[in-house]
Amino acid sequence: MYYASSDKDVDQLRKDYEILKRHGFAVEYWEEKQLSRHYPFSRPAAIYSYGEAELNPYTFTLGLLEKARASRVRIFENTKVTGRKREKDGSSLILTERGHRIRARNVIVAAGCEGP
């Protein structure tokens, strides 16, 4: 299930649906009423995908972390970023609230799926 968090997200969701459909994915576009009939929450629209799986997010995340650590990835949890600068070599310089500077070729921002 991939849904629009607000009305402003509906157009992009519809475009995503059209792309998935065009490439042969088994998906349906659900408007708010149809979504509300199947789930205990309401959103403006959603893409329902057949054949998706449910998983335990905690266990899945631990598996990803173990694989990342085995690959020597450095993980910085609970780090408030105050700025990011793109370097000439394509790397990023991350500036933190505590004044630290982190240089990285790849940066993943994992801040959750919805804000407050």
The count of domains in the chain is 2
Q: Are residues 36 and 8 in the same domain?
A: yes
Write the pLDDT tens digit of every residue in 79-89.
899 999 999 99
Q: Are residues 62 and 91 in the same domain?
A: yes
In degrees and rounded to multiples of 5, residue 80 shows phi and psi of -80, 120
Q: Which of 76, 106, 72, 73 is nearest to 89 (CA)?
A: 106
Q: Which of 110, 104, 3, 10 is nearest to 60 (CA)?
A: 110
Q: Are residues 25 and 62 in the same domain?
A: no
Q: Are residues 32 and 63 in the same domain?
A: no
At 77, which CATH number? 2.40.50
Domain span at residue 37 reads 2-49
In degrees and rounded to multiples of 5, residue 58 shows phi and psi of -65, -50
Task: Name the pTM for this structure.
Answer: 0.47
Structural tokens at position 102 = 């982190």
Write the pLDDT tens digit of every residue in 3-60.
999 999 999 999 999 999 999 999 999 999 999 999 898 999 999 998 777 778 889 8
DSSP symbol at 44: S
